[in-house]
Homo-oligomer: A and B are copies of this chain.
Amino acid sequence: MTLSEEDYIKTIYHLSEFNSKSVATNAIAEQMKTKPSSVTDMVKKLSEKSLVNYKKYQGVLLSEKGRLVALSIIRKHRLWEVFLVDKLNFSWDEVHVVAEQLEHIKSDALIDKLDAHLGYPKVDPHGDPIPNKDGVFTKSVKKLISELPVGSQGVCVGVNDSSAAFLKFLDKNKIALGDTFKIMEIEEFDGSVTISTRSGSIRISKQIATNLFLEIVDEE
Secondary structure class of chain A's binding surface, majority of residues: helix
Kindly report which residue of chain B lies nearest to residue A106, judged by CB atoms: B101
The A63-104 residues at the B interface (CB cut-off 8 A) are: 84, 87-90, 94, 97-98, 101-102
Kindly report which residue of chain B lies nearest to residue A101, judged by CB atoms: B105
Contact B105 A88 (CB under 8 A): no
A113 to B85 CA separation, bound complex (whole angstroms): 11
Kindly report which residue of chain B lies nearest to residue A88, judged by CB atoms: B113
A88 to B79 CA separation, bound complex (whole angstroms): 14
A171 to B102 CA separation, bound complex (whole angstroms): 30
Number of interface residues of A (CB under 8 A): 18
Contact B117 A88 (CB under 8 A): yes
A102 to B107 CA separation, bound complex (whole angstroms): 11
Contact B101 A88 (CB under 8 A): no
Contact B109 A90 (CB under 8 A): yes
User: Is A27 part of the contact surface with B, judged by Cβ < 8 Å?
Assistant: no
Q: Beta-carbon contacts of A105-125 to B below 8 Å, as 1s and 0s? A: 111011001100100000000
Contact A107 B98 (CB under 8 A): yes
Kindly report which residue of chain B lies nearest to residue A107, judged by CB atoms: B98
Q: Beta-carbon contacts of A10-52 to B below 8 Å, as 1s and 0s? A: 0000000000000000000000000000000000000000000
| Chain B residues closer than 8 Å to A88, beta-carbon distance | 110, 113-114, 117
Kindly report which residue of chain B lies nearest to residue A112, judged by CB atoms: B88
Report if A105-B109 is in contact (Cβ < 8 Å); known contacts: A87-B117, A88-B117, A117-B87.
no
Contact B98 A110 (CB under 8 A): yes
Contact A94 B109 (CB under 8 A): yes
21 contacts across the A-B interface (CB closer than 8 A):
A84-B110, A87-B87, A87-B117, A88-B110, A88-B113, A88-B114, A88-B117, A89-B113, A90-B109, A90-B113, A94-B109, A97-B107, A98-B105, A98-B107, A98-B109, A98-B110, A101-B105, A101-B106, A101-B107, A102-B105, A105-B105
